[in-house]
Structure 1
Amino acid sequence: MRIKSIITTVTAVTALLALTTACGGDATPTAGTGGDSSAANGAGDGGPNEGTLDNPTKNGGVYGSAPKDGTAFQKLPKAGTMAAAARFVNGFTQCDRVSTTPGEDGPSEDSKLGPAYTVTETGYCGRRNVTTIVLYKDPKAFQTAFKAEMEKNGGGNPNSGIVVGQDFAVGSQSADAMSALLQPQAGLLMLNCHADFNPPSGFRKEPALVKGCVLTDYYKD
């Protein structure tokens, strides 16, 4: 969803949704994106970022960390670091230079996510449209805070939300960027907490970590 539409419903979340600009990268990330080839082939060093984009391993990689019968959330990509998250996003939409400052076209200081979201780091990328990436340490707390903010501000567009991974979330001023991150190759899903959300048949609507929210690959600006 575009930043301006989010501002009307979730002021605090605009910083997050400003994350993914209309980045049109050519490369398609694989399980080894952001890590070295030896780690991707199962020779991980078992370090603190093992199983993330920085250090994927054969049995704990970005797409292989969850069992085949794992939940939709368990199968989402996991970044580990801001650099890894930005590289991943850049594979689908422009995010080749990430910064800790939003620049003049980015979200305002007062739109940053509060403590309830457990955000540990925020990054901005993109040129004409700003893309915002946040890393968070508690996914359930993040989803709870997102739902509360949506309810507080009236919900807004029932077909929008925020794109999430296991430990990071992305938002953009560009609807095209948001859609690009939901394509099957990306493996990300949108957190939607609208009570009236009812996607067309064929789109995913999986349980999120918080009751009343779902993870979906459907988005309409």
Structure 2
Amino acid sequence: MRMQQFITVTTAALLSLTAVTACGSDTKSTAVDGALGGQIPARNGGTDGSGGSDGDGKAGAPGLPKAGTMTKAAQIVNAYGACNDISTDPEDDDFFPGDETYDQKWGVTERGACGKGTRIFMFKDLKTFQAAYKAELDADRKESPNKGHRGKFLLGQDFAVLPDQKPLIRNAIKPGGLLMLNCHPDFNPPTGYRKDPALVKGCVLTDYFED
């Protein structure tokens, strides 16, 4: 059953969400329209853009937002692109066939779709999710070596977003937002972009997206 969410995001909340760590350069990249370059500190005392860990000394979630519920995750995503009509009904037309495979191996506890191809996955453990993505990518790269070079999922601490809207991606990876999970061995963003160690060896979290 589709649940219409009336999501109210105040101007103050938006400023807090998207600008709390905005202390990087104003230089624009042609690869990421409007995304800021420069050294971007994490909100919780994490990396300065050259790799590192969060305030607890753990890699993998430096300053990422935590949702707690699917509704809250949809509110966060809605700040970057249209996601104000979230459905958790697998029979809904917005759901993608095969997404149920994420449930067990990936530790996904709830799946949601908010139209235009954007899906949200709540998960129990960030490391389990990252490891499952890397294992799938390693297998796929045997036939398609370049697969995953741009990354795939936008990550929060307890949810992942699989967007089908490039403007949403560009907005979400601005300072204070989500980060892109990239596990391609040849991924090397331009200097000034984040390349934080993920919880799984061979994966990083980055604010660089090659359009």
Distance 1:197 1:213, change over 3 A: same
Q: Which amino acid aligns with 1:80?
A: G
Where structure 2 has 5 or more consecutive residues not aligned to the other structure, the ranges are: 1-8, 18-41, 47-53
Partner SS, residue 108 of structure 1: coil
Partner SS, residue 82 of structure 2: coil
> Residue in 2 aligned with 1:144?
131
Q: Which amino acid aligns with 1:137?
A: K
| Whole-angstrom distance in 2 between the partners of 1:77 and 1:110 | 23
1:135 paired with 2:125, answer no
Distance 1:29 1:86, change over 3 A: farther
Deviations 1:116-151 (A, max 9, x none): 21111011103xx22101110111111100100111
Instruction: Kindly tell me the number of residue pairs found equivalent between the two proteins.
Output: 162
1:77 paired with 2:65, answer yes
1:203 paired with 2:189, answer no
| Whole-angstrom distance in 1 between the partners of 2:203 and 2:154 | 13
Normalising to structure 2: TM-score of the pair?
Answer: 0.68
| Whole-angstrom distance in 2 between the partners of 1:158 and 1:125 | 26
CA RMSD across the alignment: 2.4
Partner SS, residue 79 of structure 1: coil
Deviations 1:16-71 (A, max 9, x none): xxxxxxxxx9962636xxxxxxxxxxxxxxxxxxxxxxxxxxxxxxx96x456625
| Whole-angstrom distance in 1 between the partners of 2:162 and 2:154 | 6
Query: For residues 93-132 of structure 1, what are the structure 2 equivalents within 5 Å?
Result: 93-101=81-89, 103-109=92-98, 112-126=101-115, 129-132=116-119
| C-alpha contact (below 8 Å) 1:161/1:193 kept by paired residues | no
Among candidates 159, 164, 167, match of residue 168 of structure 1: 159
Q: Report sequence identity in percent.
A: 44
Distance 1:26 1:182, change over 3 A: farther
Where structure 1 has 5 or more consecutive residues not aligned to the other structure, the ranges are: 1-24, 32-62
Deviation of the 1:175 alpha carbon: 1.9
Partner SS, residue 83 of structure 2: coil
